Structure 1
C-alpha cells in the first residue's frame, strides 16, 4: 500500500482520500462531455442536455472543495466562475420550463 501512496505523491491516507475525492470530481466533470456527446448523437444535432449541467455542477462543487482544501487560488477562482455559470444555466432552464408549463 505504501507504493500506492508513493505513486500518488501523498504522505498519508488522509491525503490519499483527498486525491481520490479530487479525481472523482474530475471524473464527474469530464463525464458531462460524454453525456453531451451521446445526447447529440441521438438527436443527430448538437445539443446540451440537462444532465450536462448537473454533471458540471457536481464536478464543479467537488473540484471547488478540493481546490479549497489544497488552498490553490487559481483553481478556486476557476471553479468559482464555472459554478456561477452552471447555476445560472440551471436557473434559466427551470424558469423556461415553469413559464412553458404555466402558459
Structure 2
C-alpha cells in the first residue's frame, strides 16, 4: 500500500513538472515572453527617440515660420491679405537715413 502511494505521488509530481516545463503557460513561455518584452521595450525606446526628433522638427518649423514671417514684415515690408502695414520712424531715424545717402 505504501509503495503504491509513493508511486502515485511520484506520478503526480512528474505530471506537475511536465506541465511546469512544457505545458501551457510554462516556464519556457514565460522566458519567451520576457524576451519579447525586452525586444518591445527597445523598439519603444527607438520610437520615442524618433517621436522626440519629429516633435522638435515640428516645433522648429512652427517657430521658424513665425520667424520668417516676422523677418519678411520687418525687412521687406510684406503684409498679409486685408492687412494694413504702418511703419513709423522717429525723427532721429529720418536724420540718420538722410545722412547715409
TM over 0.5: no
TM-score (norm 2): 0.32
Query: Larger RCO: Structure 1 or Structure 2 (Cα < 8 Å, ≥ 6 residues apart)?
Result: 1
Structure whose alpha-carbon radius of gyration is higher: 2
Bigger helix fraction: 1
